[in-house]
Amino acid sequence: MATAVLEVRDLVKHYTLGGGMFGAARKVQAVDGVSFELMPGETLSIVGESGCGKSTLARCILRLVEPTGGAIRLADTDIARLPEHALRPFRRSIQIVFQDPFASLDPRQRVIDAVATPLRLHGMAAPGDIADRARRLLRDVGLGDEVAIRHPHELSGGQRQRVAIARALAVEPRVVILDEPVSALDMSIQAQVINLLMELQDRLGVSYVLISHNLPLVEHVSDRIAIMYLGRFVEIADHAVLARRALHPYTQALFAAAPSLDVAAARTETRALLTGDLPDPSDPPMGCRFHTRCPFQQERCRREAPVLRPVEGRAVACHFAGEVDFTQAPARP
């Protein structure tokens, strides 16, 4: 049985705001006890509304921000508490492709230098071979040699994201975090970049953590999907299992709100759409954090926080998962 390439356990990131002369300090619970495993060659997608903690989770895993607590195991080592100077060997194993390719590239560097820099920093090639290896990486992502001498402002959005992908893959990582990798691109380019990422995954065996709002994309590329709400996972399931039936009302509402190409079905189906805004993460609701927006909430939801538990082949944090059909409107009291 394959072992996980990345294991995250009870990861927490809390920010403290204020506390000076203008008021009492507030604790923002951006990530609050998240756990998952990522297997070789797997794509795990993390889905949720803006502000739910997805990007903070990604930055904690990369140690771009310091986690408050929990463990991040990579190559049998917990990197969550390693000092900065001890992290470099692990930087090779986990890379990221950011949402905005223009902001993630140095505008002063030529493309070939952007790809060559990680090769040089990690000693991935002899000095005389670095330029040739960088050009091969660019060709691997569909860019010709003429692009190598250009600067980021001379490229299209799709070309810039291909450069970012080449740079991330240059050090042969085991894990790549894709933080909304196509949301800043034109619709016509998105499919090209996604197909490129899937082709590279098949060829290299790399594992992806995909962060996205795009549910049709997530359904297309994922092996497993984790639904995140206000700093916590509320449902984790294989793609095929979740496609058949969502067991958390938040998951059901997200999928119901996704655009549908089936116009006739969209006109006739009942949609359990979300109401209200995401609660303030510095003052999350007591009990189930979703209860303030859940049409199915009961007294137990308001006083007792559910934990992730196995139900029908997935993990769900809902007291009534598997007992209530969340596709149907709740009965009136």
Amino acid at position 282, single letter: S
List of residues 6+ apart from 235 with CB closer than 8 A: 226, 227, 242, 246, 247, 248, 250, 251, 314, 315, 316, 317, 318
pLDDT of residue 102: 87
Using only C-alpha atoms, the chain has a radius of gyration, in whole angstroms, of: 21
pLDDT of residue 132: 95
Q: Is residue 252 part of a domain?
A: yes
> Using DSSP, how many helices (H) and how many strands (E) does the chain show?
12, 12
Does the CA dihedral 130-136-141-147 come out positive or negative? positive
> What is d(CA 17, CA 149) in angstroms, rounded to the nearest whole number?
45
The pTM is what? Answer: 0.91
pLDDT of residue 267: 44
HSE-CB at 311 with a 13 A cutoff on CA atoms is: 22
Q: Is residue 218 part of a domain?
A: yes
Q: Is residue 106 part of a domain?
A: no
Q: Is residue 329 part of a domain?
A: no
Nearest to 331 by CA among 299, 295, 302: 295
List of residues 6+ apart from 11 with CB closer than 8 A: 31, 33, 34, 35, 57, 60, 61, 67, 69, 70, 71, 72, 80
Q: Is residue 121 part of a domain?
A: no
pLDDT in tens, the chain (333 residues): 679 999 999 999 999 887 666 666 788 999 999 999 999 999 999 999 988 999 999 999 999 999 999 999 998 899 998 998 899 889 899 999 998 888 889 999 999 999 999 999 998 889 899 999 999 999 999 999 999 999 999 999 999 999 999 999 999 999 999 999 998 888 888 999 999 999 999 999 999 999 998 888 899 999 999 999 999 999 999 999 998 889 999 999 998 887 654 544 444 455 556 777 889 888 899 999 999 999 999 999 999 999 999 999 999 999 999 887 777 666 544
**Tokens 């499919």, located at residue:** 191
pLDDT of residue 264: 46
How remote is the C-alpha of 319 from its chain's centroid?
A: 26
Number of domains making up the chain: 1
Q: Is residue 80 part of a domain?
A: yes
DSSP codes joined into one string, 84-132: GGG-HHHHTTEEEE-S-HHHHS-TTS-HHHHHHHHHHHTT-S-GGGHHH
Looking up residue 286, the CATH number of its domain turns out to be: 3.40.50.300
> What is d(CA 144, CA 140) in angstroms, rounded to the nearest whole number?
9
Nearest to 235 by CA among 225, 245, 243, 220: 225
